[in-house]
Structure formats: structure tokens, C-alpha cells
Amino acid sequence: MSLKAEKNHRWAVVLAGGDGTRLRELTRRVIGDARPKQFCRLFGEKTLLAQTRERIAPLFEEEHTLFVLTRAHREFYGEELAGICDHRKVVQPLNRGTAVAMALCLEEIARRDEDATVAFFPSDHYFRDCSAFRDSVEYGLQTVEEYPQSVLVLGAEAHYPEVEYGWIQPGRALVDSLVHPLHRVRRFWEKPTLERAESLRRDGCMWNTFVTIGLAGAFLELFAATIPGLTKILGNCRTESQIESFYEKTAPVDFSGAVLSHVPERLLVLRDGKSGWMDLGNPHRVMEALSLSGAQPPWLASVHDSAGQLCQVA
């Protein structure tokens, strides 16, 4: 199959439906309202969502890039995504966590393209080197064609024993490469203790970036094995009222905790050591990303008198 033909079956899903509660006090000071961080301009003239769109655009056809949103945030995404066709906006009635959002998109994509390869991208992350990130994603997209029964997770190089990240413990090596080493997954560790995180770092474990790639069918099989009722019910929802009813009755479900951590034998991890990934989950990381990027946004001086004061905002 030619590269062009393969690209026609590639789909990107930008996860932009979160409420951004962990960084809300900071973003309220920066922006002046309660908008989630993905709709904030933290590093320049573009929001984190716009930067995510720009970062992945070279890899996917525009018509095959979907945005998962939450209705309560319409005032924040309405103008920014005004040029996006409605069929590319998957607007949830409520935020019910990453697993529900992903399952909703997978059912929609599978109906449109039974041969789809799908990549999920959070919209609130920082990458120091976007070109290196795209190289890793491109390699991942090609890799899942060779392992159609598996789902691939991008693992970031761990530089310190972070206790707020999820960690991936690699298993058997499949590709022994200095640039793109590929492994089976032995285990996921969600927000370990400091002692455990130090041990995981020494053992060469990686941070879970949540960037996840696989055939739509492989994703749906993982959901069927771990949360069988979710995709079955969503697959039968054909009207807006049915989806509304489903969301009202459903509790939030986290994809990493409810799905990935239960099926490590079906997962691959690709080590991404060059992109400089960071999850912007607290003010400490925002400050670190600003330092790494050299950015000095106008809001910085007005929010705090020192880095220490800013990092106490929670």
C-alpha cells in the first residue's frame, strides 16, 4: 500500500473535552475566567488547542482530524473552531472522562472507515521539539500496521521520579533502536509513591504521554475486554437524545486506569526520548516549560512576583 493510500485511513482525535481543574486557579488568574487550560494562551498568541492542531497537522488529512469537546465549553471553543465543519466536532453533553470520549469517537470513526488507524492526542501538553514528536508519531503509525492486534503508547523519557504521572514498565524489546526503541508493555503504574517512582526511573521505565495509536478495531477490542458495556451501548446510540441519556447515566471513566492498565499484553510502548514532552498539570510544569521554551508571555509578570509564588497556586 502506498504512503498516500495509508494516509487516507489515518485519523487523529484531539482530546479537548477536559475541565482543566488541576490548573484552574492559574488559568483564572491568567485569563480572567474559568476556561479549561486547552483554551488558554499560556505560551504566546495561540492556545494550547491551536498549538496541538498545528503540531499534528502535517501527519493527517484535515477531514480526518476530529475534536472531542464538551458542550459546557462552547463559549471557549466556538470562535476558535468556527472554521471546523460540524461533523469534525464530537461534542459531548458532559465530560465523562477520557475512556468515554475515546469510545464515542472510535464508534464514529469505525462507521466511516472500517480500516481506520486512529491516534489520540491530548490538547494540553507541551513539546520542546515538535519535529521530533512528529517523527515518533509517524513511526508509531507505521508500526501499528505491522502489529494490528496491538495498541501503541508513546512513552517519554523519565528525567526525575514524578509521582503525578503514569509510568510504563517496558517488557520484551521488539525493535532495538537508538532512535525509536519499541517494546512490549510489562505493566502500568499509575501515580506511584516517590520511592516507587525512583525505582521505576532507575529501571528505565517511561512516563505515559497518553498519545495512543492503533487500528480502530484493536482499540474497540481493548474496550470490549475491559469495559464491555461501554462500546456496546454507544454503538447502539444513533440519536442525540440517546447519547444524552447515556451520558447522564454514566460515571467518568479514565482510559489509562480502566483500559490500558488491565491489558498490558496487548500494548506496545515506543520510547520518545527527544521531543521533550511535558504534561501541564500544575504551575510547576508550566514554569518549567516556559523556562525551556524561553517564552515570556505578557501574563507572567501580572500573575506573580516570583516563580515560587506561582508554583503555590493549585
Q: What single DSSP character describes residue 243?
A: H
Cell numbers 504551575 correspond to: 283
59-93 tens-digit pLDDT: 999 999 999 999 999 999 998 999 999 999 999 99
Please tell me the predicted confidence (pLDDT) of residue 4. 46
Count of residues in the chain: 314
Please, what are the domains in the chain? 3-310 (3.90.550.10)
Q: What percent of the chain has pLDDT over 70?
A: 95
Rounded Cα distance, 187 and 124, in Å: 25
How does 160-187 read in b/e, with b if 16+ C-beta sit within 10 Å?
ebbeebbbbbbbeebeeeeebbbbbbee
Q: Which grid cell sits at 221?
A: 477490542
Mean pLDDT, residues 34-57 taken together: 93
Average pLDDT, the chain: 91
Please tell me the predicted confidence (pLDDT) of residue 293. 86
Distance of CA 191 to the CA centre of its chain: 17
User: Is residue 222 helix, strand or coil?
Assistant: helix
188-236 tens-digit pLDDT: 999 999 999 999 999 999 999 999 999 999 999 999 999 988 887 887 8
> Are 94 and 247 within 8 A, CB to CB?
yes
Closest CA to 120 of 194, 216, 43: 216
Residue 146 has pLDDT above 50, yes or no: yes
Report in angstroms the alpha-carbon separations of 208 from 151, 253, 260. Answer: 14, 17, 11
Bridge-based pairing state of the strands 151-156 and 267-272: parallel
Please say whether the dihedral angle defined by the alpha carbons of residues 242, 248, 251 and 253, taken in this order, is positive or negative.
positive
